Structure 1
Protein backbone atom coordinates (compact mmCIF):
# COMPACT_ATOMS: atom_id res chain seq x y z
CA UNK A 1 0.00 0.00 0.00
CA UNK A 2 1.09 3.54 -0.61
CA UNK A 3 1.02 6.71 1.42
CA UNK A 4 -1.75 6.83 4.08
CA UNK A 5 -3.00 3.40 3.05
CA UNK A 6 -3.82 4.42 -0.52
CA UNK A 7 -2.75 1.85 -3.09
CA UNK A 8 -0.26 2.86 -5.82
CA UNK A 9 -2.98 2.41 -8.44
CA UNK A 10 -5.24 4.83 -6.56
CA UNK A 11 -2.36 7.26 -6.13
CA UNK A 12 -1.67 7.05 -9.86
CA UNK A 13 -5.29 7.76 -10.78
CA UNK A 14 -5.40 10.75 -8.44
CA UNK A 15 -2.08 12.13 -9.71
CA UNK A 16 -3.16 11.72 -13.33
CA UNK A 17 -5.97 14.23 -12.88
CA UNK A 18 -3.72 17.24 -12.49
CA UNK A 19 -0.12 16.18 -12.76
CA UNK A 20 1.15 19.34 -14.43
CA UNK A 21 -0.01 21.60 -11.59
CA UNK A 22 1.16 19.19 -8.89
CA UNK A 23 4.54 18.92 -10.61
CA UNK A 24 4.91 22.70 -10.79
CA UNK A 25 4.20 22.96 -7.06
CA UNK A 26 6.70 20.17 -6.40
CA UNK A 27 9.46 22.14 -8.11
CA UNK A 28 8.63 25.25 -6.07
CA UNK A 29 9.25 23.22 -2.93
CA UNK A 30 12.68 22.06 -4.08
CA UNK A 31 15.29 24.79 -3.72
CA UNK A 32 17.75 23.44 -6.29
CA UNK A 33 15.10 22.67 -8.90
CA UNK A 34 13.49 26.06 -8.36
CA UNK A 35 16.84 27.75 -8.90
CA UNK A 36 17.50 25.83 -12.10
CA UNK A 37 14.07 26.71 -13.47
CA UNK A 38 14.66 30.39 -12.77
CA UNK A 39 18.08 30.19 -14.40
CA UNK A 40 16.58 28.45 -17.42
CA UNK A 41 13.88 31.08 -17.84
CA UNK A 42 16.43 33.89 -17.64
CA UNK A 43 19.18 32.47 -19.88
CA UNK A 44 17.51 30.17 -22.40
CA UNK A 45 16.22 32.95 -24.70
CA UNK A 46 19.78 34.09 -25.44
CA UNK A 47 21.20 30.62 -26.14
CA UNK A 48 21.69 29.75 -29.80
CA UNK A 49 24.70 27.42 -29.86
CA UNK A 50 25.51 23.93 -28.61
CA UNK A 51 28.44 25.30 -26.61
CA UNK A 52 26.27 27.85 -24.82
CA UNK A 53 23.69 25.22 -23.95
CA UNK A 54 26.12 22.57 -22.76
CA UNK A 55 28.23 24.98 -20.72
CA UNK A 56 25.26 26.28 -18.76
CA UNK A 57 24.64 23.54 -16.21
CA UNK A 58 21.18 24.63 -15.09
CA UNK A 59 19.78 25.21 -18.56
CA UNK A 60 21.24 21.96 -19.85
CA UNK A 61 19.90 19.95 -16.93
CA UNK A 62 16.41 21.35 -17.43
CA UNK A 63 16.50 20.56 -21.16
CA UNK A 64 17.88 17.05 -20.74
CA UNK A 65 15.47 16.33 -17.92
CA UNK A 66 12.55 17.44 -20.07
CA UNK A 67 13.50 14.85 -22.70
CA UNK A 68 14.21 12.14 -20.11
CA UNK A 69 17.84 12.20 -21.22
CA UNK A 70 19.60 13.27 -18.04
CA UNK A 71 22.13 10.49 -18.64
CA UNK A 72 23.54 12.54 -21.51
CA UNK A 73 24.96 14.90 -18.90
CA UNK A 74 27.81 12.40 -18.58
CA UNK A 75 27.86 11.58 -22.29
CA UNK A 76 28.84 14.96 -23.68
CA UNK A 77 30.17 13.52 -26.93
CA UNK A 78 26.73 12.14 -27.69
CA UNK A 79 24.91 15.32 -26.73
CA UNK A 80 27.27 17.42 -28.82
CA UNK A 81 26.78 15.18 -31.84
CA UNK A 82 23.01 15.47 -31.53
CA UNK A 83 23.23 19.26 -31.29
CA UNK A 84 25.78 19.81 -34.07
CA UNK A 85 24.54 17.42 -36.77
CA UNK A 86 21.58 17.96 -39.05
CA UNK A 87 19.00 15.44 -37.73
CA UNK A 88 17.52 15.07 -41.23
CA UNK A 89 20.80 13.72 -42.57
CA UNK A 90 20.89 9.95 -43.00
CA UNK A 91 24.43 9.91 -41.61
CA UNK A 92 23.63 11.86 -38.43
CA UNK A 93 23.81 10.14 -35.07
CA UNK A 94 20.14 10.91 -34.48
CA UNK A 95 19.22 8.89 -37.58
CA UNK A 96 21.78 6.07 -37.44
CA UNK A 97 21.17 5.33 -33.76
CA UNK A 98 17.48 4.51 -34.38
CA UNK A 99 16.93 5.98 -30.92
CA UNK A 100 13.60 7.81 -30.87
CA UNK A 101 14.51 9.79 -27.75
CA UNK A 102 17.73 11.07 -29.29
CA UNK A 103 15.96 11.93 -32.52
CA UNK A 104 13.26 13.90 -30.71
CA UNK A 105 15.94 15.84 -28.86
CA UNK A 106 17.90 16.53 -32.05
CA UNK A 107 14.74 17.58 -33.89
CA UNK A 108 13.92 20.11 -31.18
CA UNK A 109 17.32 21.73 -31.79
CA UNK A 110 17.40 21.17 -35.55
CA UNK A 111 18.26 24.81 -36.18
CA UNK A 112 21.50 24.28 -34.24
CA UNK A 113 22.23 21.02 -36.02
CA UNK A 114 21.66 22.54 -39.43
CA UNK A 115 24.16 25.24 -38.53
CA UNK A 116 26.73 22.72 -37.24
CA UNK A 117 26.11 23.76 -33.68
CA UNK A 118 25.01 27.38 -34.09
CA UNK A 119 21.55 28.66 -34.95
CA UNK A 120 20.82 32.06 -36.46
CA UNK A 121 18.26 32.63 -33.70
CA UNK A 122 17.65 30.98 -30.36
CA UNK A 123 15.51 27.84 -30.67
CA UNK A 124 14.07 28.73 -27.28
CA UNK A 125 10.90 30.47 -28.38
CA UNK A 126 8.29 31.30 -25.75
CA UNK A 127 6.34 28.16 -26.69
CA UNK A 128 9.43 25.96 -26.48
CA UNK A 129 10.36 27.41 -23.10
CA UNK A 130 6.88 26.73 -21.76
CA UNK A 131 6.74 23.15 -23.06
CA UNK A 132 10.28 22.39 -21.87
CA UNK A 133 9.52 23.67 -18.39
CA UNK A 134 6.30 21.68 -18.17
CA UNK A 135 8.08 18.47 -19.22
CA UNK A 136 10.97 19.13 -16.84
CA UNK A 137 8.63 19.78 -13.91
CA UNK A 138 6.71 16.59 -14.58
CA UNK A 139 9.87 14.51 -14.81
CA UNK A 140 11.15 16.10 -11.60
CA UNK A 141 7.91 15.09 -9.90
CA UNK A 142 7.85 11.61 -11.45
CA UNK A 143 11.44 10.87 -10.42
CA UNK A 144 11.05 12.10 -6.84
CA UNK A 145 11.80 9.52 -4.15
CA UNK A 146 8.16 9.14 -3.15
CA UNK A 147 6.92 8.54 -6.70
CA UNK A 148 9.76 6.18 -7.55
CA UNK A 149 9.36 4.06 -4.42
CA UNK A 150 5.76 3.25 -5.26
CA UNK A 151 6.28 2.99 -9.01
CA UNK A 152 3.73 5.75 -9.57
CA UNK A 153 6.30 8.03 -11.22
CA UNK A 154 7.13 5.47 -13.90
CA UNK A 155 3.43 4.79 -14.48
CA UNK A 156 2.73 8.50 -14.90
CA UNK A 157 5.56 8.93 -17.37
CA UNK A 158 4.59 5.84 -19.34
CA UNK A 159 1.00 7.03 -19.68
CA UNK A 160 1.97 10.57 -20.63
CA UNK A 161 4.57 9.47 -23.17
CA UNK A 162 2.57 6.69 -24.79
CA UNK A 163 -0.57 8.79 -25.06
CA UNK A 164 1.41 11.52 -26.81
CA UNK A 165 1.61 9.31 -29.90
CA UNK A 166 5.36 9.80 -30.28
CA UNK A 167 6.22 6.17 -29.49
CA UNK A 168 5.23 4.16 -32.54
CA UNK A 169 7.53 1.15 -32.74
CA UNK A 170 9.13 -1.37 -30.42
CA UNK A 171 12.51 0.27 -30.97
CA UNK A 172 10.99 3.63 -30.02
CA UNK A 173 9.90 2.11 -26.74
CA UNK A 174 13.21 0.34 -26.20
CA UNK A 175 15.16 3.57 -26.63
CA UNK A 176 13.54 4.98 -23.48
CA UNK A 177 14.76 3.35 -20.26
CA UNK A 178 11.60 4.22 -18.31
CA UNK A 179 9.20 2.89 -20.93
CA UNK A 180 11.36 -0.20 -21.20
CA UNK A 181 11.19 -0.81 -17.47
CA UNK A 182 7.40 -0.68 -17.48
CA UNK A 183 7.23 -3.05 -20.44
CA UNK A 184 9.61 -5.53 -18.85
CA UNK A 185 7.65 -5.67 -15.61
CA UNK A 186 4.22 -5.95 -17.23
CA UNK A 187 5.57 -8.73 -19.45
CA UNK A 188 6.49 -10.63 -16.29
CA UNK A 189 10.22 -10.12 -16.23
CA UNK A 190 12.58 -8.98 -13.50
CA UNK A 191 14.32 -5.96 -15.11
CA UNK A 192 17.72 -6.99 -13.72
CA UNK A 193 17.49 -10.56 -15.00
CA UNK A 194 16.00 -9.57 -18.34
CA UNK A 195 18.76 -7.00 -18.70
CA UNK A 196 21.34 -9.78 -18.76
CA UNK A 197 20.10 -10.76 -22.23
CA UNK A 198 21.59 -9.11 -25.27
CA UNK A 199 19.55 -6.65 -27.28
CA UNK A 200 18.53 -9.02 -30.05
CA UNK A 201 17.27 -11.58 -27.53
CA UNK A 202 15.27 -8.95 -25.66
CA UNK A 203 13.81 -7.64 -28.88
CA UNK A 204 12.81 -11.12 -30.06
CA UNK A 205 11.13 -11.97 -26.76
CA UNK A 206 9.32 -8.70 -26.33
CA UNK A 207 8.10 -8.57 -29.91
CA UNK A 208 5.89 -11.50 -28.94
CA UNK A 209 4.71 -9.81 -25.75
CA UNK A 210 4.00 -6.26 -26.80
CA UNK A 211 1.24 -5.11 -29.12
CA UNK A 212 2.27 -1.59 -30.09
CA UNK A 213 -0.99 -1.03 -31.96
CA UNK A 214 -2.87 -1.36 -28.68
CA UNK A 215 -1.30 1.85 -27.45
CA UNK A 216 -3.27 3.89 -29.93
CA UNK A 217 -6.11 3.56 -27.40
CA UNK A 218 -5.53 5.94 -24.43
CA UNK A 219 -7.61 3.75 -22.11
CA UNK A 220 -5.46 0.72 -22.87
CA UNK A 221 -2.34 2.74 -22.18
CA UNK A 222 -3.68 3.68 -18.75
CA UNK A 223 -4.69 0.09 -17.98
CA UNK A 224 -1.19 -1.03 -18.94
CA UNK A 225 0.29 1.46 -16.46
CA UNK A 226 -2.05 0.12 -13.79
CA UNK A 227 -0.84 -3.41 -14.58
CA UNK A 228 2.70 -2.20 -13.98
CA UNK A 229 1.81 -0.89 -10.54
CA UNK A 230 0.02 -4.13 -9.66
CA UNK A 231 3.09 -6.13 -10.68
CA UNK A 232 5.34 -3.88 -8.60
CA UNK A 233 3.16 -4.53 -5.55
CA UNK A 234 3.36 -8.27 -6.17
CA UNK A 235 7.11 -8.18 -6.83
CA UNK A 236 8.60 -5.32 -4.78
CA UNK A 237 12.10 -6.59 -5.59
CA UNK A 238 11.54 -5.39 -9.17
CA UNK A 239 11.45 -1.82 -7.92
CA UNK A 240 14.91 -1.42 -6.44
CA UNK A 241 17.49 1.28 -7.04
CA UNK A 242 18.88 -0.40 -10.15
CA UNK A 243 17.29 0.94 -13.30
CA UNK A 244 17.47 -0.89 -16.62
CA UNK A 245 20.17 0.21 -19.00
CA UNK A 246 19.21 2.65 -21.70
CA UNK A 247 19.74 2.16 -25.43
CA UNK A 248 22.92 4.21 -24.90
CA UNK A 249 24.30 1.51 -22.63
CA UNK A 250 23.57 -1.10 -25.28
CA UNK A 251 25.81 0.77 -27.66
CA UNK A 252 28.84 1.18 -25.47
CA UNK A 253 28.32 1.56 -21.73
CA UNK A 254 29.10 4.49 -19.48
CA UNK A 255 32.70 5.33 -20.28
CA UNK A 256 31.74 8.93 -21.06
CA UNK A 257 34.13 9.05 -24.01
CA UNK A 258 33.81 9.34 -27.74
CA UNK A 259 33.98 5.58 -28.21
CA UNK A 260 30.21 5.23 -28.20
CA UNK A 261 29.95 7.29 -31.37
CA UNK A 262 32.14 4.96 -33.39
CA UNK A 263 29.86 2.04 -32.72
CA UNK A 264 26.96 3.44 -34.72
CA UNK A 265 28.78 2.81 -37.95
CA UNK A 266 29.22 -0.89 -37.16
CA UNK A 267 26.97 -3.82 -36.49
CA UNK A 268 25.19 -2.24 -33.53
CA UNK A 269 25.44 -5.42 -31.45
CA UNK A 270 24.02 -4.86 -27.98
CA UNK A 271 25.77 -5.93 -24.82
CA UNK A 272 23.60 -4.73 -21.98
CA UNK A 273 19.93 -4.30 -21.22
CA UNK A 274 17.10 -2.76 -23.11
CA UNK A 275 13.74 -3.99 -24.19
CA UNK A 276 10.08 -3.57 -24.78
CA UNK A 277 7.00 -5.11 -23.38
Structure 2
Protein backbone atom coordinates (compact mmCIF):
# COMPACT_ATOMS: atom_id res chain seq x y z
CA UNK A 1 0.00 0.00 0.00
CA UNK A 2 1.47 3.35 -1.09
CA UNK A 3 2.04 6.04 1.52
CA UNK A 4 1.72 8.87 -1.02
CA UNK A 5 -0.69 11.46 0.35
CA UNK A 6 -3.84 11.94 -1.73
CA UNK A 7 -6.40 14.72 -1.67
CA UNK A 8 -3.92 17.58 -1.80
CA UNK A 9 -3.26 19.76 -4.82
CA UNK A 10 0.18 19.28 -6.41
CA UNK A 11 1.39 22.60 -5.00
CA UNK A 12 0.07 21.77 -1.52
CA UNK A 13 1.69 18.31 -1.64
CA UNK A 14 4.96 19.84 -2.81
CA UNK A 15 4.94 22.33 0.06
CA UNK A 16 4.08 19.56 2.53
CA UNK A 17 6.92 17.31 1.37
CA UNK A 18 9.34 20.21 1.14
CA UNK A 19 9.25 20.52 4.92
CA UNK A 20 10.71 17.03 5.33
CA UNK A 21 11.03 15.11 2.08
CA UNK A 22 13.36 12.60 3.73
CA UNK A 23 10.53 11.48 6.05
CA UNK A 24 7.95 11.31 3.26
CA UNK A 25 10.41 9.32 1.15
CA UNK A 26 11.27 7.00 4.03
CA UNK A 27 7.58 6.35 4.71
CA UNK A 28 7.07 5.60 1.02
CA UNK A 29 10.13 3.32 0.85
CA UNK A 30 8.69 1.12 3.61
CA UNK A 31 5.69 0.39 1.38
CA UNK A 32 7.74 -0.43 -1.72
CA UNK A 33 9.13 -3.96 -1.60
CA UNK A 34 11.79 -3.32 -4.24
CA UNK A 35 13.14 -0.19 -2.60
CA UNK A 36 13.21 -1.88 0.81
CA UNK A 37 14.95 -4.95 -0.61
CA UNK A 38 17.60 -2.94 -2.43
CA UNK A 39 18.42 -0.59 0.44
CA UNK A 40 18.57 -3.43 2.95
CA UNK A 41 20.93 -5.36 0.68
CA UNK A 42 23.10 -2.29 0.17
CA UNK A 43 23.33 -1.53 3.89
CA UNK A 44 24.31 -5.13 4.59
CA UNK A 45 26.95 -5.31 1.84
CA UNK A 46 28.36 -1.76 2.02
CA UNK A 47 31.13 -2.60 4.48
CA UNK A 48 32.47 -5.27 2.11
CA UNK A 49 32.49 -3.02 -0.96
CA UNK A 50 36.02 -1.62 -0.95
CA UNK A 51 36.69 -1.23 -4.68
CA UNK A 52 35.01 0.05 -7.81
CA UNK A 53 34.96 -3.44 -9.29
CA UNK A 54 33.22 -4.80 -6.19
CA UNK A 55 30.55 -2.13 -6.45
CA UNK A 56 30.00 -2.82 -10.15
CA UNK A 57 29.57 -6.54 -9.46
CA UNK A 58 26.90 -5.88 -6.84
CA UNK A 59 23.78 -5.07 -8.86
CA UNK A 60 21.57 -3.95 -5.97
CA UNK A 61 24.25 -1.83 -4.35
CA UNK A 62 25.09 -0.18 -7.66
CA UNK A 63 21.40 0.47 -8.28
CA UNK A 64 21.09 2.25 -4.94
CA UNK A 65 24.27 4.27 -5.39
CA UNK A 66 23.48 5.37 -8.94
CA UNK A 67 19.86 6.04 -8.04
CA UNK A 68 20.95 8.24 -5.15
CA UNK A 69 22.79 10.45 -7.62
CA UNK A 70 19.97 10.42 -10.18
CA UNK A 71 22.01 8.23 -12.52
CA UNK A 72 19.93 5.08 -12.58
CA UNK A 73 19.58 5.36 -16.37
CA UNK A 74 23.29 4.69 -16.94
CA UNK A 75 23.53 1.47 -14.93
CA UNK A 76 23.77 -0.68 -18.05
CA UNK A 77 26.42 1.59 -19.56
CA UNK A 78 29.21 -0.39 -17.93
CA UNK A 79 32.12 1.44 -19.53
CA UNK A 80 30.75 4.83 -18.52
CA UNK A 81 30.09 3.77 -14.93
CA UNK A 82 33.61 2.32 -14.69
CA UNK A 83 35.13 5.56 -16.01
CA UNK A 84 33.20 7.64 -13.50
CA UNK A 85 34.26 5.37 -10.65
CA UNK A 86 37.92 5.03 -11.57
CA UNK A 87 38.99 8.24 -13.26
CA UNK A 88 40.24 11.22 -11.27
CA UNK A 89 37.42 13.78 -11.57
CA UNK A 90 39.93 16.65 -11.23
CA UNK A 91 41.74 15.48 -14.37
CA UNK A 92 40.50 17.64 -17.26
CA UNK A 93 40.75 14.57 -19.50
CA UNK A 94 38.37 12.51 -17.34
CA UNK A 95 34.91 11.70 -18.65
CA UNK A 96 33.18 13.63 -15.87
CA UNK A 97 35.30 16.74 -16.40
CA UNK A 98 34.90 16.74 -20.17
CA UNK A 99 31.16 16.12 -19.98
CA UNK A 100 30.34 19.15 -17.85
CA UNK A 101 27.60 17.00 -16.35
CA UNK A 102 27.13 18.13 -12.74
CA UNK A 103 25.60 14.81 -11.64
CA UNK A 104 28.44 12.80 -13.19
CA UNK A 105 31.01 15.03 -11.53
CA UNK A 106 29.34 14.79 -8.11
CA UNK A 107 29.21 11.01 -8.43
CA UNK A 108 32.85 10.77 -9.52
CA UNK A 109 34.03 12.98 -6.67
CA UNK A 110 32.06 10.97 -4.12
CA UNK A 111 33.87 7.79 -5.13
CA UNK A 112 37.31 9.19 -5.84
CA UNK A 113 38.57 7.24 -2.82
CA UNK A 114 38.38 4.02 -4.81
CA UNK A 115 41.68 2.87 -6.28
CA UNK A 116 41.96 4.24 -9.83
CA UNK A 117 42.69 0.76 -11.17
CA UNK A 118 39.08 -0.11 -10.45
CA UNK A 119 40.03 -3.45 -8.91
CA UNK A 120 42.26 -2.96 -5.88
CA UNK A 121 40.71 -2.27 -2.52
CA UNK A 122 41.12 1.35 -1.56
CA UNK A 123 42.71 2.39 1.69
CA UNK A 124 39.57 4.29 2.60
CA UNK A 125 36.33 2.99 1.17
CA UNK A 126 33.61 5.61 0.55
CA UNK A 127 31.36 3.31 2.57
CA UNK A 128 33.67 3.15 5.61
CA UNK A 129 31.67 6.00 7.17
CA UNK A 130 28.17 4.93 8.20
CA UNK A 131 26.91 8.47 7.69
CA UNK A 132 27.81 8.16 3.99
CA UNK A 133 25.83 4.93 3.71
CA UNK A 134 22.86 6.55 5.47
CA UNK A 135 23.05 9.58 3.18
CA UNK A 136 23.03 7.40 0.07
CA UNK A 137 20.01 5.46 1.30
CA UNK A 138 18.16 8.71 2.04
CA UNK A 139 18.89 10.08 -1.43
CA UNK A 140 17.87 6.80 -3.05
CA UNK A 141 14.61 6.80 -1.09
CA UNK A 142 13.96 10.40 -2.17
CA UNK A 143 14.60 9.65 -5.82
CA UNK A 144 12.39 6.54 -5.64
CA UNK A 145 9.62 8.59 -4.00
CA UNK A 146 9.91 11.32 -6.63
CA UNK A 147 9.68 8.73 -9.40
CA UNK A 148 6.57 7.25 -7.79
CA UNK A 149 4.97 10.69 -7.62
CA UNK A 150 5.61 11.20 -11.33
CA UNK A 151 3.98 7.87 -12.12
CA UNK A 152 0.62 8.98 -10.70
CA UNK A 153 -1.48 11.35 -12.76
CA UNK A 154 -2.83 13.16 -9.69
CA UNK A 155 0.67 13.98 -8.42
CA UNK A 156 2.51 14.29 -11.74
CA UNK A 157 5.02 17.13 -11.59
CA UNK A 158 5.49 17.02 -7.82
CA UNK A 159 8.40 14.59 -8.02
CA UNK A 160 10.15 16.73 -10.60
CA UNK A 161 9.56 19.84 -8.51
CA UNK A 162 11.03 18.21 -5.40
CA UNK A 163 14.04 16.91 -7.33
CA UNK A 164 14.54 20.34 -8.89
CA UNK A 165 14.45 22.04 -5.48
CA UNK A 166 16.99 19.74 -3.85
CA UNK A 167 19.29 19.52 -6.89
CA UNK A 168 19.28 23.01 -8.38
CA UNK A 169 21.99 25.26 -6.99
CA UNK A 170 22.79 28.94 -7.24
CA UNK A 171 25.15 29.69 -10.07
CA UNK A 172 24.21 26.59 -12.09
CA UNK A 173 24.86 27.24 -15.77
CA UNK A 174 22.65 26.49 -18.75
CA UNK A 175 25.00 23.67 -19.77
CA UNK A 176 24.72 22.11 -16.31
CA UNK A 177 20.94 22.38 -16.37
CA UNK A 178 20.84 20.77 -19.80
CA UNK A 179 22.98 17.86 -18.60
CA UNK A 180 20.18 16.84 -16.20
CA UNK A 181 16.97 15.75 -17.94
CA UNK A 182 14.73 16.54 -14.96
CA UNK A 183 16.16 19.99 -14.34
CA UNK A 184 15.86 20.69 -18.05
CA UNK A 185 12.23 19.55 -18.15
CA UNK A 186 11.30 21.97 -15.37
CA UNK A 187 13.14 24.87 -17.01
CA UNK A 188 11.68 24.06 -20.43
CA UNK A 189 8.18 24.09 -18.99
CA UNK A 190 8.58 27.36 -17.09
CA UNK A 191 10.20 28.87 -20.19
CA UNK A 192 7.05 28.07 -22.16
CA UNK A 193 8.24 25.09 -24.16
CA UNK A 194 6.67 21.66 -24.42
CA UNK A 195 9.42 19.21 -23.33
CA UNK A 196 8.35 16.48 -25.75
CA UNK A 197 8.36 18.78 -28.74
CA UNK A 198 11.42 20.65 -27.49
CA UNK A 199 13.33 17.37 -27.47
CA UNK A 200 13.06 17.14 -31.26
CA UNK A 201 15.54 20.01 -31.60
CA UNK A 202 19.28 19.48 -31.60
CA UNK A 203 21.38 20.45 -28.57
CA UNK A 204 22.60 23.79 -29.94
CA UNK A 205 19.09 24.94 -30.77
CA UNK A 206 17.79 23.84 -27.38
CA UNK A 207 20.58 25.73 -25.67
CA UNK A 208 19.92 28.87 -27.71
CA UNK A 209 16.27 28.85 -26.72
CA UNK A 210 16.95 28.18 -23.04
CA UNK A 211 19.50 31.00 -22.95
CA UNK A 212 16.82 33.38 -24.24
CA UNK A 213 14.74 32.80 -21.11
CA UNK A 214 17.45 31.95 -18.58
CA UNK A 215 17.62 34.41 -15.69
CA UNK A 216 20.27 33.72 -13.04
CA UNK A 217 18.25 35.63 -10.44
CA UNK A 218 15.59 32.89 -10.61
CA UNK A 219 18.13 30.59 -8.95
CA UNK A 220 19.97 33.07 -6.74
CA UNK A 221 18.58 31.68 -3.48
CA UNK A 222 16.77 28.66 -2.09
CA UNK A 223 13.60 30.74 -1.81
CA UNK A 224 13.78 31.70 -5.49
CA UNK A 225 14.43 28.11 -6.52
CA UNK A 226 11.33 27.03 -4.59
CA UNK A 227 9.26 29.75 -6.25
CA UNK A 228 10.49 28.54 -9.64
CA UNK A 229 9.42 24.97 -8.81
CA UNK A 230 6.01 26.23 -7.75
CA UNK A 231 5.69 28.11 -11.05
CA UNK A 232 6.37 24.81 -12.80
CA UNK A 233 3.59 23.10 -10.86
CA UNK A 234 1.18 25.97 -11.45
CA UNK A 235 1.79 25.80 -15.20
CA UNK A 236 1.04 22.08 -15.22
CA UNK A 237 -2.34 22.70 -13.60
CA UNK A 238 -3.70 24.55 -16.62
CA UNK A 239 -1.40 23.01 -19.23
CA UNK A 240 -0.79 19.36 -18.28
CA UNK A 241 1.88 17.60 -20.27
CA UNK A 242 0.40 14.61 -22.03
CA UNK A 243 1.70 12.86 -25.11
CA UNK A 244 -0.95 11.64 -27.54
CA UNK A 245 1.40 10.92 -30.43
CA UNK A 246 5.15 10.86 -31.08
CA UNK A 247 6.68 14.29 -31.51
CA UNK A 248 8.15 15.27 -34.83
CA UNK A 249 9.52 18.38 -36.46
CA UNK A 250 6.23 18.80 -38.26
CA UNK A 251 4.21 18.63 -35.05
CA UNK A 252 6.67 21.00 -33.43
CA UNK A 253 6.34 23.70 -36.05
CA UNK A 254 2.76 23.01 -37.22
CA UNK A 255 2.44 20.38 -39.94
CA UNK A 256 -0.55 21.98 -41.64
CA UNK A 257 0.95 25.46 -41.71
CA UNK A 258 -1.86 26.98 -39.67
CA UNK A 259 -1.35 29.19 -36.68
CA UNK A 260 -0.23 27.08 -33.71
CA UNK A 261 0.53 28.22 -30.14
CA UNK A 262 3.77 26.23 -30.28
CA UNK A 263 5.08 28.42 -33.09
CA UNK A 264 4.97 31.55 -30.99
CA UNK A 265 7.05 29.85 -28.33
CA UNK A 266 9.87 29.66 -30.84
CA UNK A 267 9.31 33.09 -32.33
CA UNK A 268 7.93 31.63 -35.59
CA UNK A 269 4.83 32.77 -37.42
CA UNK A 270 3.69 31.54 -40.78
CA UNK A 271 0.69 30.57 -42.84
CA UNK A 272 -0.03 28.30 -45.76
CA UNK A 273 2.26 25.50 -46.91
CA UNK A 274 5.40 27.65 -46.94
CA UNK A 275 6.16 27.02 -43.25
CA UNK A 276 8.04 23.76 -43.58
CA UNK A 277 9.93 24.94 -46.64
CA UNK A 278 10.95 28.11 -44.80
CA UNK A 279 12.33 26.01 -41.97
CA UNK A 280 14.39 23.70 -44.13
CA UNK A 281 14.92 25.80 -47.22
TM-score by length of 2: 0.79
Deviation, 1:96, is 1.0
Does structure 1 residue 137 correspond to structure 2 residue 141?
Answer: yes
Pick the aligned partner of 2:103 from 93, 101, 110. 101
> Are 2:153 and 1:153 aligned?
no
**C-alpha displacement at 1:210, in angstroms?**
1.4
| Aligned counterpart, 1:263 | none
After TM superposition, list the pairs within 5 Å mapping 1:221-260 onto structure 2: 221-238=225-242
SS in 2 for 1:103: helix
Change beyond 3 A, Cα 1:216–1:99 = same
Taking structure 1 as reference, are residues 146 and 41 closer, same or farther at Cα in structure 2, changes over 3 Å only? same
Q: Which runs of 4+ in 1 moved over 6 A?
A: 239-242
Contact 2:189 2:195 in 1 (8 A): yes
Question: CA RMSD of the aligned region, Å?
Answer: 2.3
Taking the aligned partners of 1:12 and 1:51, their CA distance within structure 2 comes to 39
Q: Alignment partner for residue 209 of structure 1, among 213, 229, 234?
A: 213
Instruction: Report the counterpart of residue 36 of structure 2 in structure 1.
Output: 34
Q: Which runs of 5+ in 1 are unaligned?
A: 243-277
Change (3 A) 1:63 1:4: closer
Q: 1:1-277 residue pairs with structure 2 within 5 A?
A: 5-112=7-114, 114-118=116-120, 119-124=122-127, 125-145=129-149, 149=153, 150-163=156-169, 165=170, 168-238=172-242
Find the residue that maps to 1:132 and give its secondary structure: helix
Q: CA deviation at 1:4?
A: 5.2
Sort the Cα spacing of 1:227 and 1:233 in 2 relative to 1 into closer, same or farther, 3 A: same
Distance 1:127 1:201 in 2: 43
For 1:4 and 1:70, locate their aligned partners in 2 and report how far apart those are by CA, in whole Å: 27
Whether the aligned pair in 2 keeps the contact of 1:154 and 1:178 (CA below 8 Å) is yes
Kindly indicate whether the alpha-carbon contact (under 8 Å) linking 2:174 and 2:211 is maintained by their aligned counterparts in 1. yes
Q: Deviations over 1:81-123 (max 9, x none)?
A: 1112111111111111111111111010112264545422311
Cα contact 1:191–1:238 (8 A) shared by 2: no
Greater Rg, structure 1 or structure 2?
A: 2
The total of aligned residue pairs comes to 239
Please say if residues 69 and 103 of structure 2, whose CA atoms lie closer than 8 Å, have aligned partners that are also in contact: yes
Distance 1:216 1:117 in 2: 42
Uncovered stretches (5+) of structure 2, i.e. residues with no partner: 247-281
Give SS of 2:137's match. Answer: helix
Comparing 221-230 and 106-115, the one that deviates more: 106-115
Q: Give the superposition deviation at 1:49.
A: 1.5
| Cα distance in structure 2, aligned partners of 1:190 and 1:144 | 22
Q: 1:238 Cα deviation (Å)?
A: 4.5
